[in-house]
Amino acid sequence: MEYYNYIKALHLIFVITWFAGLFYIPRLFIYQIEASGKEEPERSILIRQLKLMTRRLWFIITWPSAILASIFAITLLVMVPDWLQQSWMHVKLGFVVLLYAYHFKCHLIFKELQQDIIKWTSNQMRLWNEGSTLILFSVVFLVIVRDAINWIYGVAGIFVLALMLMLGIRIYKRIRAKDPDA
């Protein structure tokens, strides 16, 4: 237990950098999708640069952070095995599985865009971008609150957050329709 706080700090640091990558990678996907509709030579220049930025973010920050966050999480569970008996931890691990599913889907999108295969619109990608936000809110509130009575409020809060995010995306879409440079 002497190293518990160090392991916990490292886990949190890599969770933060993992989420930073997951927040930014769909944004780069959006830029690449939108760049594919531009005229040459702007199109080629933008796409080449965005592919490079995406590859670096994905393989230098996001993937290593996901792996290291998981290694430190497993280390914490080995150090404090009683957590595995608590229901909040089961739910948290469910969200971690969901986060990895989100991560793997981002990886598939990354591979497609690296090959110039575009299956998503920029608006669909904007909605997809909010998935990691919802998971982050869920996990943070779950870990901090942990109280069964507050689950009702937490679930309601996540739905309200999702609605607010979708409303924000719609408002932004209308603003962009009036001013494409917004």
User: Could you state, in order of their start, the residue ranges of all structural domains in the chain?
Assistant: 4-178
Q: Among the ranges 1-10, 59-68, 78-87, which has the highest mean pLDDT value? A: 59-68
| C-alpha to C-alpha distance for 179 and 157, rounded to whole angstroms | 32
Instruction: Categorize the per-residue pLDDT at 9 as very low, low, confident or very high, splitting at 50, 70 and 90.
Output: very high
Binding residues: 11, 92
Q: Indicate the annotated binding residues for heme.
A: 11, 92
Mean pLDDT, range 90-109, rounded to an integer: 94
User: What does the pLDDT average to over 102-128?
Assistant: 95
Quick check: 25 and 54 in contact, CB under 8 A?
yes
Q: Token digits for 78? A: 């080995």
Radius of gyration for the chain, computed over Cα atoms and rounded to the nearest angstrom:
19
Dist. CA 43–CA 39, nearest whole Å: 6
Kindly report the average pLDDT of the chain as a whole number: 90
Higher pLDDT, 87 or 22: 22
| pLDDT score, position 138 | 82
**What pLDDT score was predicted for residue 130?**
87
Q: If you average pLDDT over residues 41-54, what whole number do you get?
A: 97
| Least confident piece of the model among 56-65, 86-95, 161-170 | 161-170
Report the pLDDT value the prediction gives residue 145, as an integer from 0 to 100: 78
pLDDT tens digits along 141-165: 788 877 655 666 766 777 787 788 7
The pTM score is: 0.83
Crossing angle of helices 4-35 and 131-145, in 10° steps, is 160
Q: What is the DSSP letter of 61?
A: I
Does residue 171 have a pLDDT over 70?
A: yes
Query: Can you tell me the distance from the alpha carbon of 2 to that of 102, in angstroms, rounded to the nearest whole number?
Result: 34
